[in-house]
Structure 1
Amino acid sequence: MRNIAVIGGLAATILAFSGAPRLTAMSDAAGLPQARNASCDDPKTAFDNVYCERKVYMQADTDLNAAYKKLRTLLKVADRTTLLQSQRTWIRQRDSRCGLTEGASIKIDLVCAKDMTIERTNWLNDRSRECTSSGCRSSKLDE
């Protein structure tokens, strides 16, 4: 499956292997991306930037999933359904704001996706904090 990652107007082709996208536009003799060896503190090329931004996004996504699971354990069964619907709505919003499908290509703005994911993680953590401090507020779960 061929995808396109876009960062601030910069596009780089990525391919999906075992469910995880991997930058392939620059390869060394072993076929591994050269960007893997780059320092994300001082990226030298556009490919380095794409690689580094993807790493930050992937960590943000991991953090979001952990925050979602934590909040879910604190909720009543009925509120879990509301949270699930809210999460699905948020995913559709993220996809429409940060992604674009053109034929066989998918363009993803990684900065947009990262920022929205971090924002959503903070929202989930706020709900968890409410649950543990003053009780879960069902009315806030569908914001």
Structure 2
Amino acid sequence: MRAPLLLAALLLAGTTAPALAFDCAKAKSPIETTICATPEAKRADDAMSAAYAALQAGMDKAHGQVLLRNQRSWLQQREARCRDWSQETVRIDGACLARETESRHRLLTGEAEYAGPGALPFRPSFSERIEPAHKVEVSIAVPQLAAGAGPAPGLDALLQAAAKTADDPVDDDPHYSYDAGYTITYDSGELVSVLFDIYVDHGGAHGQGVQAAANYAPMLGRALKADDLVDDKGVTALTNLCRAQLRQEKIRRGADADAVDGDLTDKAVGDGIRTIESWQFRRDGAAIHYDAYEIGAYAEGSYDCTIPWPVLRKAAKPDAPLPRS
């Protein structure tokens, strides 16, 4: 894979020198030409490259090398996610490139998808563990409170724990890789929600992608709990809502309408609602995430039940620490 011209050259050379916008007159690879042909992707790529350069400039050599390797990995992931694998000829989706690159820019700058009044400032941190002899490769990106942030007891620890949700390798694992990135989906003085996308591979038939959210209530000064949001009545209401939504999505994906209800039991759907790590908050409401295997076969992939703010507020406890506007 060839990454965008100048940034790719710097990354592959192992340097931590600043990366600048590349010259579209020299674009050759499918991903380069797609970026140059898609104004939104080009703007996002320029901004992301500048953010990467600024972050590198403030790091010592050791931390800069960790960021360098993390950026290399992300460039590969971006191309894999945005390539049309149904075609023999390499075709890249420009809208996907713009979306993925904008997300990376926010990660590198500590910005949230939605930032409301009282938003906390964040900065990214990167860590890794590489053991060639045991084929262990661990790469984790986590947001940390930036200088000048107000009191948020336990938030940094919550974020670190969420990034390491999946299991660690055992001594006799012949292979282990773990990659965690994040998106700050909501950030205000009322609620902070950070979504971690994690991929773990023990060397089996396939790896496993999972999501875990860290949700924090600044007004309470602690991590948010599912019990803070809904009582049994609320769980029942949201279970019925999500079951109907998930059933429709399963059928849309090709599932047999007569067979889907066996996967969508009260327990299976309700367990997600009772698990705060499954909750994701965004500008327009919340989502309950179900990883592969939780309500269906691995091949089905993951599912999300989306809950607009008005619906959630109606189902939530009267004193639930949720944004009120």
Structure-2-length-normalised TM-score: 0.25
In the alignment, the residues of structure 1 paired with residue 94 and residue 100 of structure 2 have an alpha-carbon distance, to the nearest angstrom, of: 10
Q: How does 1:35-50 map to 2 (within 5 A)?
A: none
The answer to whether residue 91 in structure 2 is matched with residue 91 in structure 1 is no
Which AA in structure 2 matches 1:69? A
Displacement of 1:18 after TM fit? 2.9
Partner of 2:26 in structure 1? 18
The answer to whether residue 50 in structure 2 is matched with residue 55 in structure 1 is no
The answer to whether residue 147 in structure 2 is matched with residue 133 in structure 1 is yes
Structure 1 residues 42-94: Cα deviation after superposition (integer angstroms, max 9, x where no partner): xxxxxxxxx5xx01100100000000000001111110000001101111111
Structure 1 residues 1-33: Cα deviation after superposition (integer angstroms, max 9, x where no partner): xxxxxxxxxxxxxxx8532638xxxxxxxxxxx
Asked whether the 8 Å contact 2:48–2:104 carries over to 1, the reply is yes
The farther-off stretch of 124-133 and 88-97 is 124-133
Decide which structure has the larger Cα Rg and report it: 2
Partner of 2:51 in structure 1? 67
Higher fraction of helix: 1
Q: How many residues align?
A: 93
Displacement of 1:123 after TM fit? 0.4
Partner of 2:66 in structure 1? 82
Which AA in structure 1 matches 2:75? I
Which AA in structure 2 matches 1:18? K
Displacement of 1:131 after TM fit? 8.9
Asked whether the 8 Å contact 1:74–1:131 carries over to 2, the reply is no
Asked whether the 8 Å contact 2:40–2:95 carries over to 1, the reply is no
Which AA in structure 2 matches 1:85? R
Relative distance call for 1:72 and 1:131 in structure 2 (3 A) is: farther
In the alignment, the residues of structure 1 paired with residue 54 and residue 93 of structure 2 have an alpha-carbon distance, to the nearest angstrom, of: 28
Displacement of 1:132 after TM fit? 6.5
Partner of 1:33 in structure 2? none
Asked whether the 8 Å contact 1:94–1:116 carries over to 2, the reply is yes
Name the % identity. 25
Structure 1 residues 84-137: Cα deviation after superposition (integer angstroms, max 9, x where no partner): 01101111111111014654x221011111111000000000136969626xx9
Root-mean-square deviation over aligned CA pairs: 3.1
Partner of 2:208 in structure 1? none
Structure-1-length-normalised TM-score: 0.54
In the alignment, the residues of structure 1 paired with residue 54 and residue 144 of structure 2 have an alpha-carbon distance, to the nearest angstrom, of: 12
Larger RCO, structure (CA 8 Å, separation 6 or more): 1
In the alignment, the residues of structure 2 paired with residue 131 and residue 18 of structure 1 have an alpha-carbon distance, to the nearest angstrom, of: 40
Which AA in structure 1 matches 2:97? A
Q: Structure 1: which 4+ aligned runs deviate by more than 2 Å?
A: 100-103, 127-134
